[in-house]
Amino acid sequence: MKCYLINLDRSKDRLAQMDVEFGRLGLSFTRVAAVDGRLLSQGELDAVTAPVRRWEIPMPPGEIGCFLSHKKCLEIIAQGEDDYAAVFEDDIVLSGQAQKILSDSDWIPADADLIKIETFNSVILLGESKKIQGTDCKYARLLSKHLCTGGYIVSRSAAKRMLQFMQQISVPVDNLMFDPQYEMFSSLNIYQIYPAICKQMGFESLIEADRKTLRKQYKHRPSFPGLVVREIVRSYNRSSHILSPTKLWTRITSKKRWLRVSFKP
């Protein structure tokens, strides 16, 4: 299976690290030069951005560049000859299971369009699982939001369909792909591998600073009571797959599971 790595021309340190990371497992990748949103003019940014904002904040240049970089990879895959290919961002760590899973595509379910192979450590809803032979991993339908695009496998046919949703940019690419709030999610058969075989770590996000700046402009800091409530909610969410009556009922009455996808380096 071909692996495509998104990498900015200025991020030579990340490219060197990915050479080491893939090399230690005997894997290779094709570098795809990322689109640097910070180098685009305002006219170029406006030309690709939807007139109606659908996200909580305006799309910063780095976010737009990330979206266009993934779109670039999908265009390559859609025009290629391989049935499946993997896409990675350049700040990931791979698990030992990655070598087996990325070496061939025989294990991939016939109806799979998109397979998320990383974890964001959030609690997610999965369908009935199946073991991937020769590995410690399973796959299951992804039935809830699970953000980030550090690593995923996509079919050639799905790449063609996904590009139809990417003509204009109104939300980050990970929301578009892995958030049921947006229409691409329901149009694809999306699976999740667990434990995940990659995770973003070791590098500071190049677009998170832009997000934080814009969020400060568009959101008011909550009051002290609001901060207390927020921390209580966060604590509950971290264990909600165990404590929530609704989620417990799901576990008892169906083969669906709420769980936190782990990662084993």
Residue 6 belongs to some domain of the structure: yes
Judge contact between 5 and 30, C-beta under 8 A: yes
pLDDT score of 234 more than 80: no
Nearest-angstrom CA–CA distance, 179 and 244: 21
Residue 238 belongs to some domain of the structure: no
Nearest-angstrom CA–CA distance, 200 and 118: 8
For residue 195, whether the previous peptide bond is cis, meaning omega lies within 30 degrees of 0, is yes
Nearest-angstrom CA–CA distance, 142 and 45: 32
> 219-231: per-residue pLDDT in tens?
655 555 644 554 5
> 59-98: per-residue pLDDT in tens?
999 999 999 999 999 999 999 999 999 999 999 999 999 9
Residue 227 belongs to some domain of the structure: no
pLDDT score of 172 more than 80: yes
Q: Is the pTM of this model over 0.75?
A: yes
184: exposed, middle or buried (Cβ count in 10 Å: 0-12, 13-18, 19+) = buried
Nearest-angstrom CA–CA distance, 164 and 78: 12
Tokens linked to 134: 């020769």
Judge contact between 180 and 146, C-beta under 8 A: no
Judge contact between 130 and 138, C-beta under 8 A: yes
Residue burial 240-253, b: 16+ Cβ < 10 Å; e: rest: bbeebeebeebeee
Nearest-angstrom CA–CA distance, 18 and 40: 26
Nearest-angstrom CA–CA distance, 152 and 192: 9
pLDDT score of 116 more than 90: yes
Residue 204 belongs to some domain of the structure: yes
> Could you tell me the pLDDT band of residue 255, with boundaries at 50, 70 and 90?
confident
pLDDT at 210: 66
Residue 135 belongs to some domain of the structure: yes
Judge contact between 21 and 197, C-beta under 8 A: no
Q: Which residue has the higher pLDDT, 129 or 246?
A: 129
Judge contact between 75 and 67, C-beta under 8 A: no
> Could you tell me the pLDDT band of residue 240, with boundaries at 50, 70 and 90?
very low
Q: Which domain holds residue 63?
A: 2-220+256-260
pLDDT score of 162 more than 50: yes
Residue 126 belongs to some domain of the structure: yes
Residue 55 belongs to some domain of the structure: yes
Residue 240 belongs to some domain of the structure: no
51-65, 103-117, 197-211, 234-248: least confidently modelled range:
234-248
Tokens linked to 250: 């799901």
pLDDT score of 247 more than 80: no
Number of structural domains (the chain) is 1
CATH assignment of the domain containing 59: 3.90.550
